[in-house]
Amino acid sequence: MEIQSKHKDSSVNTMEINDPDFIRTNSILSAFQIIKANDRKGLISENKCIRRIARLKGLSVMTEREAQQYFALCDAFDLLAEKHIPVYYYNRIGKKKSGFEYTDLEKKRMERNISFPEMFENPGAYIEDLRDIFCEKYSSEYIKEIGRIPQVVRKGNYYLHEDFHSKYINVQDGKRMVCFQPESYEHTLHIYGRCGVFGYAVEDADSLPSLMQKELISRGHKIRIINHGLWGGLDEYLINNFLNDSIGMREGDIVLFYMKHIDMTLLGKLVGHGVYYKDITDEWHNRKNADTTFFNQPGHMNAYGYSIVSKIICDDLEASGFSGKIPASTVKIIQANNLNSYLKSQKNTHFEQEIAQYIESIIKQYPVHGLSNCGAIVMNCNPFTKGHRHLIETASESVERLYIFVVEEDKSFFKYNDRFEMVQKGTADLDNIVVVPSGKFIISAYTFPEYFMKDYVKEKNFDASLDLETFCKFIAPPLRITKRFAGEEPFDPVTKNYNDFMKKLLPSFGIEFHEIPRFAIDNERVINATAVCRLLKEKNLKELREYVPESTYTVLAAKYLDGE
């Protein structure tokens, strides 16, 4: 490959890439990295370089960050297609429709761009407009309460609203409450968007996710909706959150974006990865009657406006059979290299502070004074089996204290709280065992996202160094951990690869690694979680009891077997 740069006074005016195969076979990021590696004098501008490559690949101009996020999105949509998870993208109504007859007050607000935040700052100047939009609910106190929106903050790898509770607006764990959720459900619908999803100046019950939830339940669909909306968040924040969420989504989930469309060229290419796209602006206007529905633009609407959007989307979801537009061929090899690269490249400026707080919380509960030889096992326990019990018993014999870090990411068949309970009850009789959550620093979506994609990703030679170096540098020293244990892994290549990394890396930090042979029933049947899940689904209770401790069986019977 030859790269020719014509420059003057150390600036690059043009760049020619003479090998078409190079452009066709490399992603924007990999092409950019190769070009920069060849630019030994540092003459090529990063933004010019990546924009040039993007244009040659038929994409609109983009920055390096946008390119990274775009290719990560392609990986994420391919991964969801592998899991048979449909993705819908509805263009948010954000523009007026030519020829449509709006009310005089609507016209005034559009012409002067009078938004709700502007009205909220000076409500006395907009009484007529506020009465027009909120109707019988209007009062100065109501406006004061409905405008109290918690700010968006960075929490770990996510951008979330701060938790907040009031009469009309409630945010828990960074997500706004969705009303009318069913007690039991068969599918989970994740909806992403900005203020139109969070709820622009409406109560919890009148947000788009809540109205859709109410509509779908009334139609007999057992679907739970989660509101991932951000009021005041950038599109980049929402995509970042979705990319982090995507690795843990399971078959039966549904993904829905209600946002202004991204660059149409990019969107067209994403549609090729299975995204169902629809602009509902015209249909929304056709269903709108004389009632006022919005503030400074149709997309910033009141509860009535959202009710129209809800019905349109729910009609469309039903018509498509909730199956979206998943590509017919979903057997391609998904490596998700760009998705993994994106997740691992996120910079969390509070990383060291957060991990210090995590360690402090453990030491506060389990002081380390006088200890010098502690061990650690990281377990998902999906669910806790007799094999896990054997590993813990064996490891505990050679250390003063054994920490059991239960993987906290809720991306497995059994919920984290249930897995944690199984481990606690299954080890309650062992004196030197401490069961703690793994937090976001041990086998998490941030440190080792491949772990949660192992059922779909075909390439198994992943780099686990970020996860293990975090453990060795920040976690092991303060907790006096000198040994780490794991069971032999004859089945799962991802876990086996992780064990191989531990063998190589842990000793360089002064930590011993011990791999313990798997426990087998009758010296023949090796226990693995996949077999246990199969027995559970088959309700083969007799054989199931041979694989799990009685304490685990009790939890399974109460929560997964309807008390059997």
Per-residue pLDDT band for 36 (boundaries 50, 70, 90) equals low
- Are residues 370 and 399 in contact, defined by beta-carbon separation less than 8 angstroms? no
Is 4 a residue whose pLDDT tops 50? no
How much is the pLDDT for 389? Answer: 92
Report for 334-343, 379-388, 451-460, 529-538: range of highest mean pLDDT? 379-388
The shares of helix, strand and coil residues in the chain, as percent rounded to the nearest 5, are 45, 15, 40
Whether pLDDT at 10 is above 60: no
User: Tens digits of per-residue pLDDT, 112-147?
Assistant: 888 888 888 888 999 999 999 999 999 999 999 998
Q: Coil, strand, or helix at residue 466?
A: helix
The candidate with the shortest Cα–Cα distance to 67, out of 30, 19, 34, is: 30
Question: Above pLDDT 90, what percent of the chain?
Answer: 35
Closest CA to 413 of 277, 506, 254, 537: 537
Q: 414-418 — which CB contacts under 8 Å span 24+ positions?
A: 414/381, 414/382, 414/383, 414/560, 418/383, 418/555, 418/559
pLDDT digits (tens, 9 = 90+) for 274-326: 899 998 988 898 888 757 788 888 889 899 999 999 999 999 999 999 998 87
Please list, in sequence order, all residues whose beta carbon lies within 8 angstroms of the beta carbon of residue 72, skipping any fewer than 6 positions away.
243, 338, 339, 341, 342, 343
Q: Of 424, 380, 425, 386, give the one whose Cα is nearest residue 545.
A: 386
Select the more confidently predicted residue: 441 or 350: 441
Element (H, E) at 73: helix 64-82
| CB-based contact 403:379 (threshold 8 Å) | no
**pLDDT-based confidence at 15, cuts 50/70/90?**
very low
Residue with tokens 């989930």: 253
- Per-residue pLDDT tens digits for 376-390: 999 988 888 888 999
Angle at 74 between CA 70 and CA 78, to 5 degrees: 165
Tens of pLDDT along 178-204?
999 998 999 999 999 999 999 989 999
Domains, in order of start, for the chain = 3-62 (no CATH), 85-319 (3.40.50), 348-559 (3.40.50.620)
Q: Say if residues 357 and 474 touch (Cβ distance below 8 Å).
A: no
Q: Higher confidence at residue 312 or residue 71?
A: 312
**Weakest mean pLDDT among 60-64, 336-340, 408-412:** 60-64
Report whether pLDDT(457) > 90.
Answer: no
Per-residue pLDDT tens for 333-365? 566 777 877 777 765 555 677 888 899 999 999
What's the rounded mean pLDDT across residues 14-41? 62
Place of tokens 């076979």: 25
Q: What is the pLDDT of residue 30?
A: 66
Chain mean position to CA 509: 32
User: Could you read off the pLDDT of 228-280 as tens digits, one per residue?
Assistant: 999 988 888 899 999 988 988 888 899 999 998 666 767 777 888 889 999 89
Q: Please answer whether residues 338 and 29 qualify as being in contact, where contact means their C-beta atoms are separated by less than 8 angstroms.
A: yes
CB within 8 A of 506, min separation 6: which ones?
468, 472, 484, 512, 513
CB 530 within 8 A of CB 538: no
Q: Is the pLDDT of residue 400 over 90?
A: yes
The highest-confidence range among 47-51, 77-81, 482-486, by mean pLDDT, is 482-486
Interatomic CA distance for residues 197 and 201, integer angstroms: 11
Confidence (pLDDT) at 59: 66
